[in-house]
Structure 1
Amino acid sequence: MTVENFVWDSQNQSVSWIYNGKVIKETFENAYFASVDLQKNYVYVEAGQNYSRDQVYNLSFEGKRIFIFDKVSGKISWIHQNQLVEIHCKNTLNAQIYIEQNVIIIITGPNQTAINIKGFTLDGRLVFEKEPPKGYKFMYLSNYKNQPSIVCDGGENNVDDYGRSRWHFVINVNTGDMTKENLAY
């Protein structure tokens, strides 16, 4: 079953759709973007003042908030086995849920020189905390070949022959170890 009549109303900062014949409508303060991810079966909403990515919401097609990342408060919450799991991380820059791999990955750091990633199981247990690969800086979370990845910038010391220095590093969800895989565009 899929979403029908998906509408992102930027003026009213609301999103609505029809699922299983039921109309679902949600409004978010300072929302500026919304989309449907048919591959992962959720509605994605970004919110924040002046288009800053301060809050991220993943909603089930039934309208339940299944993942929330609030950069301002440092609160990350999600639903796991019908239970709300909530963690707080200081200086959170980004967070993403990877349901298929049973992990939440968070980028944290008080400044550009002290950024690391943390991985949590879906029940909220910390399983790893890692610094960037030597010579690289963390940029943002992503996916590479259906695996959690983080895009890293290698700066001038790690450019290829064409001047490119951003790479996908696939993250081992059990250890946090990262493997350099492919250029990121």
Structure 2
Amino acid sequence: MTIENFIWDSQNQSVSWTYNGKIIKETYENAYFATVNTQENFVYVEAGQNYSQDQVYHLSFDGKRIFTLDKLSGKVSWIYQDKMVEVACKGIVNAQFYIENGVIIVITALSQPHRKLQGFALDGTVLFEKEPPHGYSFVNLSTYKNKPSAVCDGGKINADAYGRSSWHFVIDIKTGDMTKENLAY
């Protein structure tokens, strides 16, 4: 089932749509972007002052928050078996809910060059905590061939002949081990 009449009202920082004949409307302080993810069936909202991605919300089509990333409070939360699961992570840089893989992955940084990768099972159990691959630093989370990946930058030392140094490292969701796969653009 899909939604109808999706409206992103940037002036009022609200998003609304119709699902199963019911009108759903949500407002978020400092919201600056919203869209529908039709592939994974959720509404995506970004909020933050001066277009800084401080909060990210994934809403089910019936209006429930199914995933929230809040960099200001240092919390990532999601719905699992009809209960809210919340983990605290200091210095959140990026977090993703990989629904099809059943894992939450977070990049944190206590200082700019010292970033780490954390993986959580849907019940909130820590699965792994990893440093970036040798010679690389974490940039953000992504997907590569439908698998969770970390985009890592290798700087001038790891650049190819064309000066490209950002790569997708596919993440093993059980161990956190990363395999270098392909250039990230």
> Which category of TM-score, normalised to the shorter sequence, fits these structures?
over 0.9
Relative to the length of structure 2, the TM-score reads 0.98
Q: What's the offset of the Cα at 1:98?
A: 0.6
1:98 and 2:98 matched: yes
Q: Which secondary structure state, in structure 2, belongs to the residue aligned with residue 163 of structure 1?
A: coil
Unaligned runs of 5+ residues in structure 2 are none
Q: Give percent identity, aligned residues only.
A: 69
Relative to the length of structure 1, the TM-score reads 0.98
The residue that corresponds to 2:19 in the other structure is 19
Q: What's the offset of the Cα at 1:5?
A: 1.2
User: How many angstroms apart in 1 are the aligned matches of 2:69 and 2:100?
Assistant: 18
The residue that corresponds to 2:41 in the other structure is 41
Matched to 1:4, the amino acid is E
Q: Note the alpha carbon deviations across 1:53-107, whole angstroms, 9 max, x for none.
A: 0000000011100000100110111100101101111111111111111110011
Task: Please identify runs of 4+ aligned residues in structure 1 that moved more than 6 A.
Answer: none
User: How many angstroms apart in 2 are the aligned matches of 1:22 and 1:183?
Assistant: 44
The residue that corresponds to 2:169 in the other structure is 169
User: How many angstroms apart in 2 are the aligned matches of 1:164 and 1:114?
Assistant: 22
- Once the two structures are overlaid, the 10-residue window that deviates more, 90-99 or 115-124, is 90-99
User: How many angstroms apart in 1 are the aligned matches of 2:182 and 2:165?
Assistant: 11
Q: What's the offset of the Cα at 1:113?
A: 2.1
1:57 and 2:89 matched: no
Paired residues for 1:47-86 under 5 Å? 47-86=47-86
Q: What's the offset of the Cα at 1:3?
A: 1.4
Q: Note the alpha carbon deviations across 1:119-158, whole angstroms, 9 max, x for none.
A: 0000000010000001111000111111101100110011
Paired residues for 1:94-133 under 5 Å? 94-133=94-133
The aligned length equals 185
User: How many angstroms apart in 1 are the aligned matches of 2:130 and 2:85?
Assistant: 22
Q: Which secondary structure state, in structure 2, belongs to the residue aligned with residue 115 of structure 1?
A: strand
